[in-house]
A and B are shown apart, each in its own frame.
Chain A
Amino acid sequence: MMICRKASRAALGLVAVTLLLACCGGERGVQPHVTPPFPARLSAWRLFTGKPAGLHPNHGVVPYDLNTPLFSDYADKFRFVWMPPGTSAAYRPDGVFDFPVGTILSKTFAFRTEPNSPDRLIETRLLVHAKSGWVGLPYVWNRAETEATLDVAADPVPVRFVDDSGHEHSTNYIIPNSNQCKECHAQYKVMAPLGPKARNLNKTYAYADGAANELVFWTRIGYLKGSPDPSAAPRAAVWNDPSSGTLEARARTYLDLNCGTCHRPGGAAATSALYLDLASSSEENLGVCKPPVAAGRASGDLLFDVVPGRPEESILVRRMESTEPKVMMPEIARTLPHGEGIELVRAWIASLRGACVAAAPPGAHRQSVQADPHAARPGFGEPMRENMVAKLGP
């Protein structure tokens, strides 16, 4: 995967750094900030050393990635974690780890403008565990890639790039503003990281000093306490690796990461009662035969979120395919459709069995509704074409 290219470059730095850490106690180490004001420049955190665009990690800055990531317009992402010396995160089997105050999670978004060109850095998002809670800080890289500057409401950036398959794309890449961090990261209005959960980190990462399971590596360097052996920890499927899980497991994981951050209890989309996170889904919550609540025209004349066996009739697919602002899902974090992800979800819906029972849309024939004795009761909607005059009598 292309993501590894720069990350492994970064990991090379890590080896040197961890060696240094052992000997020198982190002089000119990372500069954490746990209370406002937060630095206006990314360099002030000293997460990286050397040429800024190289993202060479400083002492204790550890690269990581996830089994299945959020799709962000095909951006390459470089993730790093840092914790204050002597602190560690507490393992949790389901949710995100319990990170100590001072933790910095750094995610840099970048694009390749040519198939083999270096990545061009666009933005670095820091998620900082401040004393008051987690804070999202979006830093935008300058053209020369010498510095990134805090910009809480950045303008979109026009980009043209090639994806891993060599396909060319162009778009106005949207850098989420710091409020939009919360749209995904807040649950019941409390900000938290999303990625670093056991199931997402239970994978092998090619560290420069050898490949290791991320849970094992974090434990080894003191960043994680209480983790069981990886074989006993949950492991999310890799959305595009059939050997990692069943079609359902991969599709559900994809939905969890791409939709379930808002579509979960307490999430931004909880008002819809459509839950797509792995933790809280039932068939109805997952949208199977669920009529939309507030989708309006975004439902595109379709009647249910997910129609078993019929991806083309499923609002879920339609909204993943769209790039219209009011139709597209997710609402933020992408401007392009993720063709490969859509194919996965389509295949999963196609594999589902069953049928949805509904009143037919205007002009169509009404399907029979027998299961619910009340449902066949007449109302005054358009769909019913019976001859009411005869029934009314004098």
Chain B
Amino acid sequence: MNLSRTLKASSLLIGLGVAGLMLASIACGNHAGGIDLGVFRSRHKAASAADAEFTKHLQEQLILATPGAVIDLPEGRFHVDRVLSLTVDNVTLRGQGMDKTVLSFKGQTSGSAGLLVTANGFAVEDIGFEDMAGDGVKVNGATGVTFRRVRAEWTAGAKSSNGGYGLYPVQCKNVLIEDSVVKGAADAGIYVGQSRDIVVRRNRVEQNVAGIEIENSQHADVYENTATRNTGGILVFNIPDLPVKDGQYARVFRNQIYANNAANFGSPASMVSKVPPGTGLMIMATKHIEVFGNTIKDNRTGNMMLVSFYATEEPIHDAGYNPYESAIFVHDNAMSGGGTDPGTLKVKALALALGKPLPDILYDGIVDPQMKGASGGLAGDDRICIQNNVGATFLNFDAAGNYRHPDRSLEPHACAFAPLEAVSLPDTTPAPGGGASANGNE
């Protein structure tokens, strides 16, 4: 464990005296002894002295950092017993590798996250965060967020006592999450909520309730991720009762979404607890979504679901909320092996009636009354377009009509939209073009 490096960096920052505090006097001094009240020894098992020292110095570095600072963490495994936090803009926190620099929060005694960030221009790289009491890394209200080669993991596997979210930007703008790994989140492994301009790419999410969830957000590119062994692989949701609504515009492409068949261990009050075990990709109550080039297979309830918020069976009190899905284009994906063992009673019932396996793409057929066309379905630019999906079968299960007229025909969905624009983040190479396929015309 190379603590000296950390201490040196801390001393340097402090020596500069730039953080607005009188740093020299508090620098690294061992004043812990000074606050020993001598009342009684803690009944809590203290972390080792080195870990305590590490924690204190890391938190000091995070507080005293100046904009532009890079805080390097050494290789090693450090036990951190409290939430860390950062409020200084443009700081990078960098380790030596997601399996080499590990912050373990096992037995965390305070705080509802591992790291809490409320600063713009934040980047975290090459660090593993383990066994947080609550969420992993939460970034709230920031412009410019980068997670790169970060791991957030609850090491005991899928347990309901795990924290909710692994990598958790909320109400942020310009979010990049790449080459990271999240395992064991009791809600969503990678959760981007109430945010805009988002790229989530090349990550691996396993053993979470939801692997990746984009919620109430606009302009997201989710690509080349691997989602497996979750309850649901990738979710794009728009839900009520949040300050930021109107989630729309997302591209989900070239992801590997397979065998997301884990039991749902989410809290009953959580939105993800509604996700049936065995869900590959679920698009709910949102619009302007393009799904292409994905390989989605072996998800036992359904490889892909396109549903309104009514699928949750939750009442809606939020007058400003639109519960319907529209303007969705699903093309050039490969799907197989799904629907073999549906994970909830209702979908099981569907399977009993229709025979197993269930089709790959399950559409609830619930249409916004204001968008209803002559045929009773969506029309024009509001349609659900589905084409050129290799091996993919389809079912409109007619939830709107109480399941009376399930329809396997793709004919009403034989249409295409122009490709959505790639999300462009400052200083980040945009996603290579994908968009509509060459034969994507009606």
Q: Chain A residues in contact with chain B, CB under 8 A?
A: 36-41, 113, 120, 122, 130, 132, 135, 137, 140-143, 149-160, 170, 172, 174, 177-180, 182-183, 186, 189, 268, 270-271, 273, 284, 289-303, 315, 324-326, 331-332, 335, 357-359, 361-362, 369, 371-372, 374-375, 377-385, 387-389, 391-393
Are the CB atoms of B31 and A357 closer together than 8 Å? no
Most A Cβ at <10 Å: residue of B38, B344, B346, B364? B346
| Chain A residue, CB-CB nearest to B20 | A36
- A324–B112 Cα distance when bound, in Å, is 9
Nearest opposing residue in chain A for B36, CB measure: A143
Minimum C-beta distance from B306 to chain A (A): 12
Chain B's closest residue to A382 (CB) is B344
Q: Which of B22, B38, B141, B403 contacts A38 (CB 8 A)?
A: B22
A381 and B264 CA atoms in complex are apart in Å by 12
Q: Which partner residue on chain A sits nearest B191 by CB separation? A: A294
Report B7 CB to chain A, min CB distance, Å.
Answer: 14
**14 other A-B residue contacts (CB within 8 Å) besides A326-B134, A382-B346:** A37-B17, A40-B25, A130-B20, A140-B35, A152-B59, A156-B82, A271-B170, A294-B170, A296-B163, A297-B164, A301-B269, A326-B163, A392-B354, A392-B406
Tell me whether B133 and A377 are in contact (CB under 8 A): no
Q: Is the CB of B163 within 8 A of A158?
A: no
CB-contact partner of B274 in A156, A293, A335, A381, under 8 A: A381
Interface centre among B37, B82, B346, B400 (most CB of A within 10 A): B37
Interface residue total, chain B, C-beta cutoff 8 A = 95
With beta carbons under 8 angstroms apart, the residue of A152, A180, A293 that contacts B242 is A293
What is the bound-complex CA distance between A113 and B39, given in angstroms? 8
B22, A299: Cβ atoms closer than 8 Å: no
Q: List 21 A-B contacts (CB under 8 A).
A: A40-B22, A40-B25, A140-B34, A143-B37, A143-B38, A150-B21, A151-B26, A178-B21, A186-B118, A189-B141, A292-B269, A294-B164, A295-B269, A358-B314, A359-B312, A375-B316, A377-B313, A377-B399, A379-B364, A380-B307, A391-B403
Q: Quick check: which of B103-111, B197-205, B327-335 contacts chain A, the rest being far away?
A: B103-111
CA distance A189 to B323 in the complex (A): 32
CA distance A334 to B21 in the complex (A): 26
Q: State the CA gap A383–B314 with chains docked (Å).
A: 10
For the complex, give the distance between the alpha carbons of A301 and B265 in Å.
12
Indicate whether B233 reaches chain A with its CB closer than 8 angstroms. no
Within 8 A of A (CB), among B130-182: 133-135, 140-141, 160-165, 170-171
**B274's closest neighbor in chain A, by CB?**
A381
* Chain A residues with CB under 8 A of B20: 36-38, 130, 132, 135
The reply to whether B60 and A153 contact each other, CB–CB distance below 8 Å, is yes
* B394 at interface, CB cutoff 8 A: no
Which partner residue on chain B sits nearest A328 by CB separation? B112
Q: Is B291 an interface residue (CB 8 A)?
A: no
Answer whether residue B220 sits at the interface, using C-beta atoms and an 8 A cutoff: no
Question: Using an 8 Å CB-CB cutoff, how does the interface string of B25-43 with A read, 1 for contact, 0 for none?
Answer: 1100001101111111111
Contact A384 B345 (CB under 8 A): yes
Residues of B within 8 A of A359 (CB): 312-315
A291-B22 contact, Cβ under 8 Å, with A157-B37, A160-B39, A381-B311: no
Q: Which residue of B lies closest to A334 (CB)?
A: B110
A384 neighbours in B (Cβ, 8 Å): 313, 345-346
Is A392 a contact partner of B112 (Cβ separation < 8 A)? no
Contact B133 A324 (CB under 8 A): yes
- Closest CB-CB distance, A328 to chain B, in whole Å? 8
Q: Are A331 and B111 in contact (CB under 8 A)?
A: yes
Given contacts A143-B34, A152-B63, contact A179 B39 (CB under 8 A): no
Bound-state CA distance A292–B20 (Å) is 38
Task: Assess whether A36 is in contact with B345, with CB atoms less than 8 Å apart.
Answer: no
Q: Establish whether residues A150 and B22, one from each chain, have CB atoms under 8 Å apart when the complex forms.
A: yes
Distance between Cα atoms of A371 and B315 in the complex (Å): 9
Is B242 a contact partner of A273 (Cβ separation < 8 A)? Answer: yes
Rounded to whole Å, the gap between the CB of A275 and the closest CB of chain B is: 10
Contact partner of A332 among B110, B307, B311, CB < 8 A? B110
Shortest Cβ gap from A335 to chain B (Å): 7
Any A CB within 8 A of the CB of B260: no
